[in-house]
Structure 1
C-alpha cells in the first residue's frame, strides 16, 4: 500500500469514528432533552415493599375519561420481573401496583416506552431505578404490670415490636410466642397507622404460690429476617414483693422507670430508697406499680 493510499484510509477511519461519536453523543443528549420535556418525576430512592411505582408526566398523555385505563404490555417494564398492573391514575400519572409486595432489600429497574405513548415521538425508553427497604425489626418489652392494681393477682406483659417496613398481620402474629413451662399465652396486637409499629400484650398471667418464669421467644422468619432470640420475666409468687423490671428513657425526657410486683403507695415516703450516682437532684414519682425517677433539668 503506497503512502497516499494509507493516508486516505486513515482519514476515512477517523471521519467515521468522529461521525459515530457525534451521532450517538447527540442522540444521547436528544434522549435526555426529550425525557426532561415529558417526565417531571418518578419513584426513586428507598421505598416500602408495599408502595406503588409512579411516573409523573409534564403533560396529559390521556384524556380525563380514560383515567383508570391499563397500559398495554411492553409500555411499562420492571426488572426483576414483578406481576402487577400499570394504569393511568390521572391523565399525567402512570402507576404500577405489584400483585404482591416487592422483595425487601431488592433493587429494581424500570423502563417506560414514551415513544409508544406519544405519536411521532422518536426517543429511547426512559429508565430509572429504586430500592426496597431491607426488612428488620426491634423488640422492646416495656414491663410487667398487675391487671388489677387493687388485687395484683393477675399480670400482663406489654411491649412494642417495630418493623423497618410494613408486613402482613398474619406474619407478625407468628413472630412472638409466650409461655410458662408447657402453658402458652395468647398475644394481643394493636398496630399504628404506619403499619410498622405493633403494641403487644401478653395477658392473664396468674400469680401462684411459687415464682414462675415467663419466656417470650421471637423470630424474624415470618418476615424474612434471620434474627431470633428469647427473653424472660419472673412472675412473682403471691407473697413476694419484687422488682420485676426497669426501663431507661433518654428522649424526650431522661428518666428511669422501675417496675414492682405490687402497687407502691403513692404518698409513701421514698426518701433514701432510691439514688442516682453522679446526680444529686432528682424527682421520684409513683404511678401504680411503677416508680419513676427523673433528674432535675
Structure 2
C-alpha cells in the first residue's frame, strides 16, 4: 500500500519571437524607436538550432520567400557563419550554418540602413539572444520479457535542447555483472530531438534477484552531467510488482510494471484499488498492466495492488503492493 501522486506535470519550453523592449542593457536598441521598421525579434533563450529572426514592418516587393539575401545585413558576436533568408510572414532570418554554441549570449545587429532608408540614429537595430544550456535526464521505464531467461528494460533520455541521436547513443551505457549490455536508441541517424526512447537489451534473468548498472556521461560533449543508478532485476522465483507510476503526460492512466508477463484472460477487477476511484478498466501489455481512470486524476491517492495477479507461467503475486 503506497500513496502515489497522480498528477499531470507538463513543462513546455516555448521559443518564439518576442516584441518586448530589453531595458537596462547598453547594447540593446530601444524597440519602441524602431516600430516603424520592426514588428518582432528573437529574444530571451533560444535553441542552439534556432534561426535568429526579425519581423519587418516594411515591405520589400523585390524579395521572394526563401530568397537568400546579403549576409552582411546581420552582424553577430561571437561570430557565426550562415546565410540571410527572407521567409514567409515578412521575416528576415539569419540561418546559422551549424548549431549555435550552447549557453552562449549572442549580440546581434541588424543593419537596416543596408536595405532601407532610415532616420539618423536608427541605422542599426541591436538585440541579444542566449542559447539553452544543454542538459539531460535519464529515466527507466518498464521491464519487459523475451522469455523466462532474457529481458529488456525501456528507458527515456530527455534533453533541455535538441540533440542528435548519434550523441544520445554515446551518453548512456549499461552493464550486468561487469559485462556491457547492448542499448538500442529510437531515432534516425542525422535527426535531432529532445526526447529519445531506448532499450537496454539482452538482460539475463538469474534465479535470484540481480542488478544492472545504468550510467550516463555528457562531459565528452561539454554537458556537465554524469551519474549512474542500479536497477534490480527480480529473480525467476520472484514474481512481483516492480513499480507503479502514472503514464508520462497522461493523468488518466496508471502503469503497473511486473517482473513477468501477465496472463491476459484474468479478471483484474478488485485486484487494483485507487482511493476514491471507481469504474477502472484494464489492459495488459507484456509485463505492464495499464489501469485506466474514467476521468483525469490529480493529487495524492492511495494505490493498492493486491496479491493474486497471475503471470503467463501460472505464478501468482504473494504480496500486496
Q: Quickly name the TM-score band, shorter chain normalised.
A: 0.7 to 0.9
Contact in 1 for aligned 2:173/2:181 (Cα 8 Å)? yes
Ranges in structure 2 where 5+ consecutive residues have no aligned partner: 1-28, 296-321
Offset of residue 146 of structure 1: 0.6
Identify the residue that residue 41 of structure 2 maps to in structure 1.
Answer: 42
Alignment of 1:1-297 (within 5 A): 33=33, 35-61=34-60, 63-64=62-63, 68-73=67-72, 75-79=73-77, 81-90=78-87, 92-119=90-117, 122=120, 123-147=122-146, 151-191=147-187, 195-237=193-235, 239-243=236-240, 245-249=242-246, 252-253=250-251, 256-268=254-266, 283=280, 285=282, 287=284, 288-292=286-290
Query: Structure 1, residues 81-108: CA drift from partner, whole Å, max 9, x if none?
Result: 1322232324953221223222333232
- Greater fraction of residues in helix: 1
Indicate the structure whose relative CO is greater, using CA pairs within 8 Å and at least 6 residues apart.
Answer: 2
Q: TM-score, normalised by structure 2?
A: 0.68
d(CA) in 2 for partners of 1:120, 1:266: 73
My pick for the range that moved more, 169-178 or 38-47, is 38-47
Residues 153, 89 of structure 1: alpha-carbon distance in 2 compared, 3 angstrom cutoff = same
Contact in 2 for aligned 1:246/1:256 (Cα 8 Å)? no
1:167 counterpart SS class: strand
Query: Structure 1, residues 46-73: CA drift from partner, whole Å, max 9, x if none?
Result: 2211001112222334724796344254
Offset of residue 274 of structure 1: 5.5
d(CA) in 2 for partners of 1:65, 1:291: 55
Residues 263, 129 of structure 1: alpha-carbon distance in 2 compared, 3 angstrom cutoff = same
Q: TM-score, normalised by structure 1?
A: 0.72
d(CA) in 2 for partners of 1:296, 1:168: 39
Offset of residue 242 of structure 1: 3.0
The size of the alignment, in residue pairs, is 261
d(CA) in 1 for partners of 2:141, 2:118: 64
- Greater fraction of residues in strand: 2
Contact in 2 for aligned 1:241/1:260 (Cα 8 Å)? no
Residues 108, 271 of structure 1: alpha-carbon distance in 2 compared, 3 angstrom cutoff = same
